[in-house]
Chain A
Amino acid sequence: MPLSLIAEQLLNGLQLGLMLFLLAAGLTLVFGIMDTINLAHGSLYMIGAYIAASVIEASGSFLLGIAAAIAGTALVGVALEMALLRRLYQRSHLSQVLATFAVILIANEIVRMIWGSQPILLNMPSALSGPVELLGLRYPAYRLVVIGVGLMTAILLYLLVNRTRAGMWVRAGASDREMAEVMGVDTRRLFTLVFAIGAALAAVAGALLGPLLAVQVGMGDNILILAFVVITIGGIGSIRGALLASLLVGLLDTAGRAFLPYLFRQMFPAVIAAEAGPAVASMLIYVLMAAVLYFRPTGLFPARG
């Protein structure tokens, strides 16, 4: 197997991992601080992608589209938090799952009413629609930009959580909510703020992935599950855990798809390899998750002691 192929697939895995992190970061904070399962996080990702697609189509500017997606989705997030999530913080996980599942159904249909059932096919900015040479490897420029933006956002978020006062509240809230309240943190405002940040990060992921995938109704449903896998592996509430688990899941998933069928062909007869390779590859991350939970029932980096 040529080295350039391995390098290219690693970059692909990195790209997937970073996008998962953008989704997982908001999810794990909401989960960790408010102890709330929010299935509607995938809908925020979808809404971000749709806003980006509409604004890019209307204005022709990719940057403007991303900015609008961030602002618009953060607003939707704030509205959602104030109208619904707030009522769910004290409720059981079952109620949270069902109420936010209802939000998925509602959001999908509202998006369908506004934008129709047809996927919106968004083009990459023309300057980025070709390949770039990278140490003798030809790699799509757009995917490199996605990796770059993902890395930058991850660093920014890390600094925000670990180096600022707001971040300190967030960490305090995640590890011990009551204690944080006693220490004078306005949890009500903190919750809204955290939710808005989570929504904005999901919107960035949606806007960036829009041109690579397709902007369509229900696009958040499956990637949401991947994000849940990430935060469960990483340990609910932990940003560090989410980052490491995202990269792990992104790399493992891509490597599994790219190399497992090849590996199996070396090890087993062709008939078995053709069956088992893709099957094992697509189950890999769920096996990882079950294994992690079996040995560490609260994930790799539990935020609470």
Chain B
Amino acid sequence: MRNTLYIPLQPWPTLGVVAVLALLPLAAATLGQPFYVVFATRVLIYALIATSLNLLIGYGGMVSFGHAAFVGAGAYTVAMLMPAGVASAWLLWPAALLAGAGFAFLVGAVSLRTRGVYFIMITLAFAQMAYYLVLSLRVLGSDDGLTLGNRPSLGLVDLNRDTTFYYAALAVLLAALAGMRALLNAPLGRALHGIRDNETRMEAIGFATYRLKLLVFVIAGAAAGLGGGLLVSLNGLVGPNLLNWTQSGVLMIMVILGGAGRLLGGALGAVLLLVVEEAIAEHTIHWPLVIGVVLLAVVLFAPQGLSGLMRRRA
């Protein structure tokens, strides 16, 4: 069966995927379709965000129903700092990461005292607080959201070019995946696995489970915050919608579609959901119906998600 304690690296397939992802903008340019570069960049960013939630749900057993709030924290940090004169992505993106981490620390410190369904509800409550805060504060743009004139600068390369931004997002995603793999292979990852399976036992053995879980919660919040920062840099706008509870639900869908507790589960789910949406939204306004049916089928018949399905066949 699977072994989450040690996640082996498969060098050739990995290289293959990275190579194809690297060539994607070239293909889009050849076909005269620059739109798909921006679309693919958005997919990569959501892959990062979903991956961070997968760390919580799939590996930590923490079913957070408020992940959108950390995305929002990062996004609004960038959107607030840029008009204040901070233009460098080297400052903006770490700031987004810190904002996500900081907010996750606050939320996690309180929420992790509760268990089970109450944890789901309290994370939801904090996310709603953030949502209403953003919605009612005029400095945060309230209903209108915030708009950026330009994309941040990244030193030598120009992020205003869609292709450059795509590669930046790709680099961040790959780094995040590598980092998560390292984390899970480290003792911390093993401990997390133990906590997910039986928290009381781990506590009895002497693990500081609360602190460990909080640490992972903060790491996931940081990655989500970074994702939010990237998202607002790409789109040039952010609104309260990004923090709505349905957005947290969509992120959970990505994780479960791709496969919770698989390294690539979050990324795969983000790709699947956004590509399907893009492909069918053009043809029918009722596309959420299709997503709903697929999601229902996955939950009922393939709880391991897409990666589980593929593994079964392989």
Contact = CB atoms under 8 A, between A and B. Distances in A.
Contacts of A229: 121, 125
Nearest to B126: A290
Contacts of B129: 283, 286-287, 290
Contacts of B135: 282
A112 B284 CA distance: 12
B300 A298 contact: no
B245 interface: yes
B57 interface: yes
A290 B122 contact: yes
Nearest to A229: B125
B303 to A, nearest CB: 7
Contacts of A81: none
A110 B290 CA distance: 11
A137 interface: no
B288 A105 contact: yes
Contacts of B139: 275
A279 B137 contact: yes
A143 B300 CA distance: 43
A202 B118 CA distance: 23
Contacts of A279: 132-133, 136-137
A113 B286 contact: yes
Contacts of A39: 249
Contacts of B115: 297
Contacts, number: 122
A293 B114 contact: yes
Main secondary structure of the interface of B (DSSP, over half): helix
Contacts of A55: none
B288 A109 contact: yes
A101 B253 contact: yes
Contacts of A112: 285-286
A229 B127 CA distance: 12
A98 B295 contact: yes
A4 B29 CA distance: 68
Interface stretch (A46-54, A70-78, A87-95, A153-161): A87-95
B122 A289 contact: yes
A152 interface: no
Nearest to A93: B117
B292 A275 contact: no
Interface in B265-290: 285-286, 288-289
B122 A98 contact: no
Chain A: interface size category = 35 or more
A286 B128 contact: yes
B63 A94 contact: yes
B125 A97 contact: no
Interface in A136-195: none
B133 A283 contact: yes
Contact of A98 (B116, B253, B293): B253
A101 B249 contact: yes
A212 interface: no
A105 B291 contact: yes
Contacts of B57: 94
Interface in A94-124: 94-95, 97-99, 101-106, 108-110, 112-113, 117
Contact of A106 (B113, B133, B292): B292
B252 A101 contact: yes
Contacts of A297: 113-115, 118
- Max chain B C-beta neighbours (<10 A), residue from A101, A105, A229, A287: A105
A93 B120 CA distance: 9
Nearest to B116: A93
A108 B293 CA distance: 12
Interface string A209-233: 0000000000001000100110010
B279 to A, nearest CB: 17
Chain B: interface size category = 35 or more
A290 B110 contact: yes
Contact of B246 (A221, A286, A294, A298): A221
B53 to A, nearest CB: 11
B231 to A, nearest CB: 22
Interface in B224-254: 245-246, 249, 252-253
A37 B300 CA distance: 15
A19 interface: no
A98 B117 contact: no
B286 A228 contact: no
Contact of A37 (B117, B132, B245, B293): B117
- Max chain B C-beta neighbours (<10 A), residue from A37, A39, A103, A293: A293
B306 to A, nearest CB: 14
Given A97-B249, A101-B295, A298-B118, 17 more contacts: A87-B300, A94-B63, A97-B65, A98-B253, A102-B291, A102-B299, A110-B289, A117-B285, A229-B125, A232-B125, A279-B137, A281-B136, A282-B132, A282-B136, A286-B129, A286-B132, A293-B110
Interface of B: 57, 63, 65, 110, 113-118, 120-122, 124-126, 128-129, 132-133, 135-139, 245-246, 249, 252-253, 256, 260, 285-286, 288-289, 291-293, 295-296, 299-300, 303
Interface of A: 31, 37, 39, 84, 87, 91, 93-95, 97-99, 101-106, 108-110, 112-113, 117, 221, 225, 228-229, 232, 236, 275, 278-279, 281-283, 286-287, 289-290, 293-294, 297-299
Top 10 A-B residue pairs of the complex, sorted by shortest distance between their CB atoms: A105-B292, A109-B289, A106-B292, A279-B136, A102-B295, A282-B132, A102-B296, A286-B129, A105-B288, A102-B292
